[in-house]
Amino acid sequence: MRLTSFSDYTLRVLIYLALEPERLVTIQSIADGYDISENHLMKVVHHLARAGLIETVRGKGGGVRLARPAAEIRLGEVVRSTEGGTPIVECLGDDNHCCITRSCALTGILVAAFGKLYAYLDDYTLADLVLKPQPLQRQLNIQPLTRIQKPNSA
């Protein structure tokens, strides 16, 4: 099995946002971090917003952020939302021209295999992908927020 580039980019966007939970992030910064076309990411961001996984804020200073904590976003949910509508083999689609469909066992086996894949992915969350954020942040050129520390009052 191979995930579509749309699913790949969707997971990458979510990873980036999980690394920036306290900021609004621009699509341009994500595109720059991954060296991916901003146009491709616009479609991904639109899909994620419609799926309720991210929030978008328009206007100056706007951007995108996770709609809920990374620990609540299951990977199976994400991949189902991007891959779920595509038949895994021709015989499961509307345009089936396979002559052995009625007697072929492959369809049932593949449906079961994909079910197990999604169940396995459901065991993991987006938070599991960013357990070690520093190397990812360095590779994506994400500058960690610097916290202003208040002086101790004596």
pLDDT single digits (tens) 104-118: 888 888 888 888 999
Whole-number average pLDDT of the chain: 89
pLDDT (mean) for 39-57: 95
Q: What is the mean pLDDT of residues 75-98?
A: 83
* Structural domains present in the chain: 5-139 (1.10.10.10)
Distance of CA 86 to the CA centre of its chain: 17
Share of the chain above pLDDT 90, in %: 64
Would you tell me how many other CB atoms lie within 10 Å of the CB of residue 126? 23
Instruction: Determine the angle formed by the axes of helices 5-19 and 27-34, rounding to 10 degrees.
Output: 110
Please give the DSSP secondary-structure letter assigned to residue 109: H
In the predicted model, is pLDDT for residue 146 greater than 70?
Answer: no
> DSSP for 33-58?
HHT--HHHHHHHHHHHHHTTSEEEE-
How far apart, in whole angstroms, are the C-alpha atoms of residue 108 and residue 105? 6
The percentage of the chain sitting over the pLDDT mark of 70, rounded to a whole number, equals 92
Task: Give the tens place of pLDDT for each residue, 51-78.
Answer: 999 999 998 889 999 999 999 999 999 9
HSE (side-chain half, CA atoms, 13 Å) at 112: 5
> Is 44 buried (19+), middle (13-18) or exposed (0-12) by CB count in 10 A?
buried
- The yes-or-no verdict on residue 154 having pLDDT over 80 is no
Look at residue 3 in the predicted model and tell me its pLDDT: 83
Q: Which residue is listed with tokens 């599991």?
A: 128
- The rounded distance, in Å, linking the Cα atoms of 40 and 53 is 18
- Determine the angle formed by the axes of helices 38-50 and 27-34, rounding to 10 degrees: 120
pLDDT for position 72: 97
